């Protein structure tokens, strides 16, 4: 299984400005696999240390701040000398040792010749707190579930080759459009969790996928219950379990009262931030103006929450696979499709996607591309643009306007229709 993040790690290895790398991401997205694969393919040796499995490791960092002394002790543990530039030092589940996390700044200051990479479950919640890690002393990389193109490369390499060959305004043959649309519907069901994708490639059994997804959701909810920090674990669970109902509402805007009757922001805001920092949810803010820079016009109190993996959202909603495969107009089609689009847009543009809503008008997503503002409409089927989307284009005359749907790749006046399966190539096709 190939991950695009591997390219980023290779660039990090070769960079003269390299700092210790901290890998963030939700549990089970493949952080451990990626670090080990990187070490095995790009270095002479890989020295792997897991702070959750090896409790005694913590004592080394509790008693020492000198990175050279730490490397010497770690060399004794692995039974071979750790060499600068030749050995990749991997610290997994580093959130279990705040002292080890803090030591990364000393590696940067005093021993940057050593290549160090660290990761951990729920590490994002730790890094979100001030003074929890050495600011400016580490590089950060977020690992997400497999995107559609990564899924396609694993599931159908030949079709992936065609996908890669697609260029701007290139006519597409119907046979490949149909095959890619089928792969997209499979992705809605399977999602991008590595275990799910690997199972699909091996067995092609939707029942196995559903079982894995149920188990993953149970693992996450168990993580919430074990959380003993300042954020109430019960409220974290309540917010997480409310997401399906939140997205099923007509406007999809997050409502605290939908979590619990009479619920208020002061009760649940910290729980939401915890889930966002943990990589479990994506927060998309409404903007008062669709103008550059979007961040200046965020309405902090108005936002939508999406799940970090579309396959898990499908499972949380209890959706039947046949509804997706038969391309019927099921009730949850719109939210599921928007969740998918957001997942694919994530990381393509420097500014995070927002949405725009006022009175009876709403634009599903607003993107910032340089100084250009791009309105985005998402359709789960083949329906044409909504009146509000067309009116927005008349009023604002944007350079780019995108509609994602099951229709083919084409220009409709000022609107570019991109098939849903091309969402990961959005920036490339502008």
Query: Which residue do the tokens 């996908």 mark?
Result: 163
pLDDT at 228: 67
**For the segment 313-361, what is each residue's pLDDT rounded down to a tens digit?**
999 999 999 989 887 778 899 999 999 999 999 999 999 999 999 887 8
Domain boundaries defined on the chain: 5-142, 148-429
Strands 115-119 and 354-358: unpaired
pLDDT at 6: 98
Burial call 256-265: b when 16+ CB within 10 Å, e when fewer: beebeeebee
pLDDT at 209: 97
SS3 330: coil
Report the distance separating Cα 286 and Cα 346, nearest Å.
17
Burial call 73-106: b when 16+ CB within 10 Å, e when fewer: ebeeeeeeebbeeebbbbbbbbbbbebbbbbbbb
pLDDT at 129: 65
**For the segment 388-416, what is each residue's pLDDT rounded down to a tens digit?**
899 999 999 999 999 999 999 998 888 99
Burial class of residue 382 in the structure, from the number of CB atoms within 10 Å of its CB (0-12 exposed, 13-18 middle, 19+ buried): exposed
SS3 400: coil
First to last CA, the chain: 28
Fold (CATH) for 5-142: Rossmann fold (3.40.50)
115-119 β-sheet, strand order: 45-50, 87-92, 115-119, 21-24, 139-142
pLDDT at 219: 95
* Prediction pTM value: 0.95
Cβ contacts of residue 44 below 8 Å, gap of 6+? 83, 86, 87
Residue 216's nearest CA partner among 26, 16, 345 is: 26
3-state helix, strand, coil in the chain (%, to 5): 50, 15, 35
pLDDT at 409: 93
Query: What phi and psi values does residue 80 have, to the nearest 5 degrees?
Result: -155, 155
From the first residue on, what is the mean pLDDT of each consecutive set of 10 residues in the chain (430 residues)? 96 97 95 98 98 93 96 97 98 93 95 96 72 79 97 98 95 96 97 98 96 97 82 94 95 93 94 94 96 96 97 96 85 95 96 91 95 96 79 93 94 91 96
**For the segment 87-110, what is each residue's pLDDT rounded down to a tens digit?**
999 999 998 998 999 999 999 999
CA 12 centroid distance within chain: 20
Tokens of 216: 């993953």
Report the distance separating Cα 139 and Cα 141, nearest Å.
7
Strands 45-50 and 139-142: unpaired
């Amino acid at each position: 299984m190939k991950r695009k993040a591997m390219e980023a790690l290779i660039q990090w290895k070769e960079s003269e400005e390299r700092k210790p790398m901290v890998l963030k991401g939700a549990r089970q997205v493949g952080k451990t696999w990626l670090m080990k694969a990187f070490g095995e393919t790009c270095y002479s040796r890989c020295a792997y240390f897991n702070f959750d499995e090896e409790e005694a490791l913590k004592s080394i960092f509790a008693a020492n701040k000198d990175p050279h002394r730490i490397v010497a002790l770690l060399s004794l543990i692995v039974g071979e000398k750790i060499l600068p530039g030749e050995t990749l030092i991997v610290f997994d589940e580093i959130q279990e040792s705040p002292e080890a996390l803090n030591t990364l700044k000393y590696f940067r200051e005093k021993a940057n010749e050593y290549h160090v990479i660290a990761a951990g479950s729920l590490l994002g919640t730790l890094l979100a707190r001030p003074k929890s890690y050495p600011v400016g002393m580490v590089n950060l990389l977020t690992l997400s579930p497999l995107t559609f193109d990564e899924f396609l490369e694993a599931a159908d390499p030949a079709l992936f080759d065609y996908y890669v060959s697609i260029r701007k305004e290139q006519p597409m043959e119907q046979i490949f459009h149909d095959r890619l649309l089928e792969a997209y519907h499979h992705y809605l069901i399977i999602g991008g969790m590595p275990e799910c994708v690997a199972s699909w490639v091996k067995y092609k059994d939707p029942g196995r996928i559903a079982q894995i997804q149920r188990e993953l959701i149970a693992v996450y909810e168990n993580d919430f219950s074990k959380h003993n920090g300042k954020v109430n674990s019960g409220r974290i669970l309540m917010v997480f379990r409310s997401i399906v109902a939140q997205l099923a509402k007509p406007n999809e805007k997050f409502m605290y009262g939908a979590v619990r009757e009479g619920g208020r922001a002061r009760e649940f805001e910290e729980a939401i931030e915890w889930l966002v920092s943990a990589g479990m949810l994506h927060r998309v803010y409404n903007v008062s103006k669709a103008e550059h820079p979007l961040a200046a016009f965020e309405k902090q109190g108005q936002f939508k929450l999406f799940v970090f993996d579309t396959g898990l959202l499908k499972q949380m909603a209890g959706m039947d696979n046949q509804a997706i495969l038969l391309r019927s107009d099921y009730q949850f089609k719109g939210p599921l499709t928007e969740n998918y689009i957001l997942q694919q847009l994530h990381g393509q543009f420097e500014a995070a996607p927002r949405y725009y809503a006022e009175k009876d008008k709403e634009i599903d997503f607003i993107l910032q591309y340089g100084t250009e503002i791009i309105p985005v409409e998402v359709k789960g089927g083949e329906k044409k643009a909504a009146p509000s989307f067309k009116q927005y284009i008349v009023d604002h005359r944007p350079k780019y306007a995108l509609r994602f749907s099951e229709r083919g790749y084409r220009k409709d006046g000022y609107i570019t229709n991109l098939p849903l399966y091309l969402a990961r190539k959005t920036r490339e096709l502008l």
